[in-house]
Amino acid sequence: MELSRALGASSPLRGSARRSAGAASRPQAPSASPNEHGAASPRPSQPSAQKADAISHTDQTPSLAAEVERGTSDEPIIRLVDSMLAEAVRRRASDIHIEPGAARLRVRYRIDGVLHEVNSPPPALHGPLVSRVKIMAGLNIAEKRLPQDGRLQLAVEHRSMDVRISTRPATHGESVVMRLLDRSQPARGLPELGLLPEEQARWAELIRRPHGMVLATGPTGSGKTTTLYGALALLNQPNRKLITVEDPVEYQLSGVNQVAVKPSIGLTFAAGLRSMLRQAPDVIMVGEIRDQETAQIAVQAALTGHLVLSTLHTNDAPSAITRLIDMGLPPFLIASTVQGVLAQRLVRRICPDCRITDNATLEERQFLEASEMAQVIRSNGCDRCHGSGFFGRVGIFELLTVTGAIRALIVRKPTASALRQAALRAGMRSLREDGRLKVREGLTTVAEVMRVVLDA
């Protein structure tokens, strides 16, 4: 949409997001009560019937900049931020990036894991824009030298959104990232993400074991937390007590005791995990194993009759085992506790409205290991996918089940390569092979699989 339409229309957000005029463009000390801004106890705002459109430059931009700089009104900048949020939600963005440069202000949306640049406001609006976002999150608008993090809840486009705010000082001013979590949408399960029926059955068997450790691994943004939430949903029964320690709590799960870490007061993953064990849980979910101390406590919990679910940052499933060894855990304890590891990536799904059949290139046939495969599915781009050719995402997976032979190998402190070969012999389907299957099924493209799989 045009910026003039965004500025002339009523704001799509109200309530905690629409603070009183005067603060967005003129720095001031924050209020003594963080609740007023929605930081400590955010209140969902009410959506307006008026919809905002996209953001872009118009001839009215210079007058807007002058109006904001004069400090005559905060309404234009409020409408601009609200419209930016509404447009990001409509385009299914997971993040909004606001980045100042030497000569321009860049705004990008992360959609289906990939950043897309949108038409941005003029550089003169950077300061008021950052101040407005800080006010919404209850941050200190006068502090520009240090990073700050905040959180708020909004009703945007008739959806309840949880927005995490991160500000960081940079060369040309503060950079802002807004992470958008749709609380009105339940976390997707592994079947919806594309885990094949055979792996679904094996995964379900792993997470239903009475004790031990089950891990999800992959880079940031690969869906690990979604996977663990799906596991908790399956295990959430009246006869089980489930406790989580997370950073942060992304989705509220009814019937699950969820704790957010707060390192500033000493509530780390390790401290939270220790306190959990005194609560007599059946299932424990640790958001991430980041250090040796957390890993040791998690292993002890798994050895003493608890099912422990957690995540690691590794490139594939076998590397999760070697990462635990590198953290200093005795290999025999890892072999005794780890039941399985699910590695995953998310690739963009071909848009169903503009998909076409096209001749496969030589590179694509080589990747698919199918020289006779003459055609593949592509997309042209359309209004629904905003010309990208993709709409939504699908997962590719690698599930390592720790068998007796693999346990014996772990005790000998193997390399990741040796462990991978043993897992493949035991029937593990690699990320690359699962990606091939998704391409053959017409769900994604070879380029997408090669983008996210290191050895593709």
Q: Residue 73: its pLDDT value, please?
A: 63
For the chain, the average pLDDT equals 85
Backbone dihedral angles phi then psi of residue 342, each to the nearest 5 degrees:
-110, 110
Give me the mean pLDDT over the 161-173 stretch: 94
Two tokens at 250? Answer: 């992304």
Tens-digit pLDDT profile for residues 284-335? 999 999 999 999 999 999 999 999 999 999 999 999 999 999 999 999 999 9
Non-local (6+) Cβ contacts of 326 within 8 A are: none
Secondary structure, 3-state, 195-264: CCHHHHHHHHHHHCCCCEEEEEECCCCCCHHHHHHHHHHHHCCCCCCEEEEECCCCCCCCCCEEEECEHH
- Can you tell me the distance from the alpha carbon of 217 to that of 225, in angstroms, rounded to the nearest whole number? 10
Tens-digit pLDDT profile for residues 364-409? 988 888 766 778 999 999 999 999 999 999 999 999 999 999 999 9
From the list 424, 434, 288, 427, the residue with the least C-alpha distance to 347 is 434
Two tokens at 264? Answer: 């500033």
Which residue is listed with tokens 């002058």?
Answer: 66
Give me the mean pLDDT over the 175-184 stretch: 91
Q: Residue 66: its pLDDT value, please?
A: 58
Give me the mean pLDDT over the 159-169 stretch: 93
Give me the mean pLDDT over the 4-29 stretch: 42
- Can you tell me the distance from the alpha carbon of 288 to that of 53, in angstroms, rounded to the nearest whole number? 38
- Can you tell me the distance from the alpha carbon of 161 to that of 330, in angstroms, rounded to the nearest whole number? 43
Give me the mean pLDDT over the 149-155 stretch: 91
List Cα–Cα distances, 379 to 359, 386, 453, in angstroms: 12, 12, 21
**Domains assigned to the chain:** 3-182 (3.30.450.90), 190-452 (3.40.50.300)
Task: With H, G, I as helix, E, B as strand and everything else as coil, classify residue 435.
Answer: helix
Non-local (6+) Cβ contacts of 324 within 8 A are: 289, 295, 312, 334, 338
Q: What is the 8-class DSSP label of residue 47? A: P
With cut-offs at 50, 70 and 90, classify the pLDDT of residue 28.
very low
From the list 292, 311, 187, 190, the residue with the least C-alpha distance to 247 is 311
For the cut 60, the answer to whether the pLDDT of residue 8 exceeds it is no
For the cut 60, the answer to whether the pLDDT of residue 17 exceeds it is no
Tens-digit pLDDT profile for residues 62-114? 555 556 656 656 788 898 899 999 999 999 999 999 999 999 999 999 999 99
- Can you tell me the distance from the alpha carbon of 402 to that of 415, in angstroms, rounded to the nearest whole number? 15
Q: Residue 449: its pLDDT value, please?
A: 95
Per the model's pLDDT, the better-predicted residue between 120 and 262 turns out to be 262
With cut-offs at 50, 70 and 90, classify the pLDDT of residue 7.
very low
For the cut 70, the answer to whether the pLDDT of residue 48 exceeds it is no
The DSSP result for 259-283, as a single string, is EE-BGGGTB-HHHHHHHHHTT--SE
Backbone dihedral angles phi then psi of residue 17, each to the nearest 5 degrees:
-80, -20
Tens-digit pLDDT profile for residues 188-236? 677 787 899 999 999 999 999 999 999 999 999 899 999 999 999 999 9
259 beta partners: 245
Two tokens at 66? Answer: 């002058």
For the cut 90, the answer to whether the pLDDT of residue 4 exceeds it is no
**Left, alpha or beta for 116 (phi > 0: left; psi -120 to 50: alpha)?**
beta
For the cut 50, the answer to whether the pLDDT of residue 53 exceeds it is no
Give me the mean pLDDT over the 1-8 stretch: 42
Q: Residue 68: its pLDDT value, please?
A: 60
CA 405 to chain centroid, in Å, comes to 35
Q: Residue 32: its pLDDT value, please?
A: 36
CB 81 within 8 A of CB 125: no
For the cut 50, the answer to whether the pLDDT of residue 19 exceeds it is no
Two tokens at 142? Answer: 């006068």
Which residue is listed with tokens 């996977």?
Answer: 227
Two tokens at 245? Answer: 């320690």
Tens-digit pLDDT profile for residues 265-287? 999 999 999 999 999 999 999 99
For the cut 90, the answer to whether the pLDDT of residue 51 exceeds it is no
Highest mean pLDDT among 21-30, 32-41, 202-211: 202-211
Which residue is listed with tokens 């089950």?
Answer: 214
The H or E element containing residue 332 is: helix 331-337
Q: Residue 75: its pLDDT value, please?
A: 82
- Can you tell me the distance from the alpha carbon of 408 to that of 208, in angstroms, rounded to the nearest whole number? 23
Percent of the chain with pLDDT over 90: 68
Distance from first CA to last CA of the chain, Å, rounded? 39
| Rg, the chain, Cα only | 24
Q: Residue 429: its pLDDT value, please?
A: 96
Q: What is the 8-class DSSP label of residue 340? A: E
Non-local (6+) Cβ contacts of 246 within 8 A are: 225, 258, 259, 260, 261, 285, 287
